Structure 1
Amino acid sequence: MSESLHTVRTLPTARRSGCPFAPPAELTDARRHGPVSRYTFPGGKPGWLITGYDLVRAVLADQRFSSRKELMRHHPTIDYGDIEVPPAPPGEFLLMDDPEHRRYRKPLAGKFTVRRMRLLTERVEQVTAGCLDAMEKTGPPTDLVTAFAKPIPAVMICELLGVPYEDRGSFQTQVESFMSGETTDEELTAAYTAVQNYLAELVAAKRANPTDDVLSELTDSDLTDEELRGISLILLAAGLDTTANMLALGTFALLQNPDQLAALRAEPALADRAVEELLRYLSVAKTFMRMPLEDVELAGHTIEAGSPVILSINTANRDPERFADPHALDLRRQGGGHLAFGHGIHQCLGQQLARVELGVAFPALVNRFPTLRLAVPAEEVELRPEIADIYGVKRLPVTWDV
């Protein structure tokens, strides 16, 4: 082992003042030292931090690195001691390896195709227009998170799952409670239990009276009620929090880059490329964890079996060896290849729906409100804590001329 191997001692670390979109400075510095660093987990467990694009992508595609929940006994910032971690509950396939993972993902894959998600474009346009109409009627200022960023993906994922309209308000509140990273352990447990109980009731209702939604379609498969509940939870987590934070943080980024905002407003054809660039630039799903099942050689280092690995998505997506001028937001950037949706067998199943939502919502917002701007100084915009799985803003106060 090389004695010069860089070591990162804390994760996550605070983002620099005035740089809310850039990865923490310590992580960017680690990547400059090389794509692989040592990391000591709370409690003293030695592990690894991978920050370079090529190696992050390679590990995500390498099934020698496991995603199984029962192997993830070490959190980057919390010392869990010697507790035993149970396997993922039935249906929660993101925390499983093949063949179990494949069994759950396969019946879903055909329901999230590019074609099927694009057919939802008109509905996304309707939902977006409804949010913008309400903003216009109420008038400025407003919190863009509650008025715009959360409602669009919430409505879409609730409709895909077939959540009755009258249940959506309380259901969304509970989901947000256990995904925010700001609740006490007791509040998190209560919210998680409430969501699980509701999903169990929803699955039973779909079996008894199927409607036109993905969950009802899945009741025709060999999946059990418990498995369908787990799948529904994964779809919620993947389809609600990530897109909501992309919409809010993405708008913040555009407002801080007025030349890029003007380009998006002036060039409707730029929308798709703008979505890909914002996904790369922001990387709201900051890190993934993997556990090597055997010794693996990476960049001249032996990653030992059982030595947990942190994959830094936000530094990988700003790796200058992969992206020219990576810290610049450039909506005209050519080529994709970012890792915002992951890579390999666990690549985000709902990525096409997210693309449709973002591709509709950003242009609609900036064109409806051409004078949109922050209602507070940028440094007063409150960011989500780094401990939250998904990065974003808590609130985004905006105003516009009427």
Structure 2
Amino acid sequence: MHPKDLSVHDFTYELPEQKIARYPLPERDSSRLLIYKEGAIQEDIYRNIPQYVAAGSLLLFNNTRVVAARLLFQKPTGAVVEIFCLEPPPQYADMTTAMTQKGQVTWICLIGGASKWKPGQILEKRMAWNDDEIVLQARYLGKEKDSFSIELSWTPASLTFAEVLQVAGNIPLPPYIKRTVEQTDSERYQTIYANAEGSVAAPTAGLHFTDAVFKAFDQKQVHLEYVTLHVGAGTFKPVKSETMSGHPMHAEFIDVSIDTINCLLNYLDKQITVVGTTSLRTVESLYWLGVKATRQPDCPPEELVVHQWDPYELNGDPVPAKTALENLLNYLQQHQLDRIITKTSLLIAPGYTFRIPNALVTNFHQPQSTLLLLVAAFIGADWRKLYTYALENDFRFLSYGDGCLLFRH
């Protein structure tokens, strides 16, 4: 069956409100861990996850950092307008370029209270900063399909947009965490290795990892490697269509160095464990970029992207993972690039053939979500057995909840 014909109603379960974790546990690595391998389920905690990862294997993380993307402006009338910064428009080559703009930037946003804000009207926000103040202004440029184009400008103009957001913005907690943001969220809704600014949601599978866990991996000579996928708000978008054909996947920026692609090549015949659905989608996107580089070597870099249905609709003989990654490296070297920066809207659903990872660390996901489809693609129909076990044994669900280590069928 083509994934377009899948009904999301086949990927649902009852998630009681009290099972959703509203706060993280005091210690990151004390979260509970379900291990699924060859149909068997066992329990442990994240502190012990190194025991289940093969010595000398590869562990791959997403090092994106959540930005304080929610900006609250108060009009002179007292009405509050919320600007939620989603992503930069195409005029910026990549997320880093947009985040390091000084003095002014244009951004694609969602607006809360849009009816209170007239086109051309300037909103202003002033904040104390060191011994000075930051003055941030927002100007409404126009409406896109379901978002808005907003120009943000500020003084001191020597500050980058990333620096301004740190002072002016709030961390955007997911909509299912029904509470106000607290000071601790700015630390706990980030992984300890986050360093590439640009996400509006955390790659939550990584929230459980600590320096002590990393030290234990080091003792087993497990190699740690990093990719970047900047998580968009589309990650929370429920599937509303009857079948997947009616669900557009949100495109997200990925950024992977040549060194990391070389590393993946070296570990293809060993265990490769990816931490999070975003890391998984990134490495599988590298495979499809390699397939395109193999079949269309003259494709310009700005057009080398991964579309939602590429895995199911690209014709031609299958390309081995090794060949795809080698050809992607050759392509990047020919274009004198030291990394691939592009967008992916890859949808992984039952029927998908995985090319690179053998194991996945991930949290428990919402019913009827594309993330649950990905889990079902990875371990088959046993996803339901796994989730039933987690619910019956009081595991904590979603972003701040517990998680699992899944070995692919």
TM-score range, shorter chain: under 0.3
| TM-score, normalised with respect to structure 1 | 0.24
Q: Which structure is higher in helix share?
A: 1
Q: Which structure is higher in strand share?
A: 2
| TM-score, normalised with respect to structure 2 | 0.23
